[in-house]
Amino acid sequence: MNEFIGYGKQWIDDVETKEVLGVLTSDFLSSGPKIQEFEEQFAAQTGARYCAAVSSGTAGLHLAVKVLDIKAGKQGITSPLTFVATANSLV
């Protein structure tokens, strides 16, 4: 028996569609006012002082290590059951 088990269902309505189309037809596809708006709203929602949107989890890990100011020669511990970016972010 080959039964498909989905991981989730997206909930996309006219509001989300309009927002995405607005960005796709704007002058800013990967940066611009919507990124700043997202960062500000995310920080406010989570109570964070700062927020920086990044392009991937890998970029987020690199940014986190940079912000922590971990110096060369320090030891980093990560899980062996992970994507290589987890360890690479410590290099």
pLDDT surpasses 70 at 86: yes
Residue of 55, 40, 48 whose CA lies nearest to 85: 55
As a whole number of angstroms, the distance between CA 45 and CA 38 comes to: 10
Tens digits of residue pLDDT in 7-60 = 888 889 999 999 999 999 999 988 899 999 999 999 999 999 999 999 999 999
Residues 6+ apart with CB under 8 A from 26: 32, 34
Residue of 54, 8, 9 whose CA lies nearest to 30: 54
User: Comparing 47 with 3, which gets the higher pLDDT?
Assistant: 47
